[in-house]
Amino acid sequence: MRSVAAARWAPLIVMFAISLVLLFLPGPAVPSGPPGSDKVVHVLLFAALATTSLIARIPWWATLVWLTGYAAASEVLQATLPINRSGDVGDWVADVAGTVVATAIVAPTLWWARRRVTR
């Protein structure tokens, strides 16, 4: 039974590690792209975090809470740590948008799939 729980948590742990690298890599090392492309990255990153959080069976409401808090903390830390990054409310909004959209799609889908499997 432990291997099943570990398999559910592994994607979230990997995704969280990736997010730490992407969010806290020092400024000059961060690649730039077309204007607004960073917001797309934020949406996709937090959508992936929400998806893996739900796969780990963290409830949808707790997923929304922890990822909204993580998004806010990451922007504050980017603005205050000496990593040559800046915090941005727009990035936080993109993070929350990715979290909400993924949760709205994935939570009901997983609920339905789990019901079908248990029948």
What are the tens digits of pLDDT across the range 19-43?
999 999 987 666 678 888 899 999 9
Quote the CA–CA distance of 99 and 115 in Å, as a whole number. Answer: 23
How many domains does the chain fold into?
1
In angstroms and rounded to an integer, the radius of gyration of the C-alpha atoms of the chain is: 16
Cβ–Cβ < 8 Å for 108, 49: no
59: amino acid identity, one letter? P
pLDDT above 80 (res 1): no
Choice between 6 and 102, residue whose per-residue pLDDT is larger: 102
- The predicted structure's pLDDT at residue 29: 63
Domain carrying residue 88: 2-118
Tally Cβ neighbours within 10 Å of residue 99: 26
